[in-house]
Amino acid sequence: MGKKSQYSIETKTQACKDYEKGKGSFQSIAEEIGVNWTTLREWYFKYREHGVNAFDTTKRNNSYTKEFKLEVIEEYITNKGSYI
C-alpha cells in the first residue's frame, strides 16, 4: 500500500503556481516547503497536465485501458510526449 502524502493539495498547488509564476526554481521552492526538488517537479508536470485534480487522489482512476496505454506508448515513440 502506498504512503500517504504529508503535503496538502493546497501546498502542492501553491508550489506549482509559484514555480509557474517564476517565483523560484524547483530547488528553491522545494527547500521552502521541505520536499525534494524532483518531487516538486513531478507535482508540477502533473499539475500542468491535469490542474488541481492531479492531486485529488480520492477520484483517481488507477486502472488504464489497453487503448490508452498503447496511445501513451505511441506518443512517446513519436516524440509527442516525454517519459515523465
Higher pLDDT, 32 or 81: 32
- Res 5: pLDDT: 63
CA 9, CA 59: separation in Å to the nearest integer? Answer: 13
**Do the domain assignments include residue 2?**
no
Residue 9: other Cβ atoms inside 10 A: 14
Q: What residues make up the domain containing 67? A: 9-79
**Do the domain assignments include residue 52?**
yes
Q: In sequence order, which residues have a C-beta less than 8 Å from that of residue 49 and are 6 or more positions away?
A: none
Q: How do residues 46-65 score in pLDDT, each as one tens digit? A: 999 888 888 877 655 567 78
- Res 80: pLDDT: 77
Decide: helix, strand or coil at residue 76: helix
- Res 11: pLDDT: 94
Q: How do residues 15-45 score in pLDDT, each as one tens digit? A: 999 999 999 999 999 999 999 999 999 999 9
pTM: 0.63
CATH for 32: 1.10.10
* CA end-to-end span of the chain: 22
Residue in this structure with the C-alpha cell 520536499, named with its chain if needed: 35
**Do the domain assignments include residue 84?**
no
Phi, psi of 29 (to 5 degrees): -70, -40
Domains: count for the chain: 1
**Do the domain assignments include residue 4?**
no
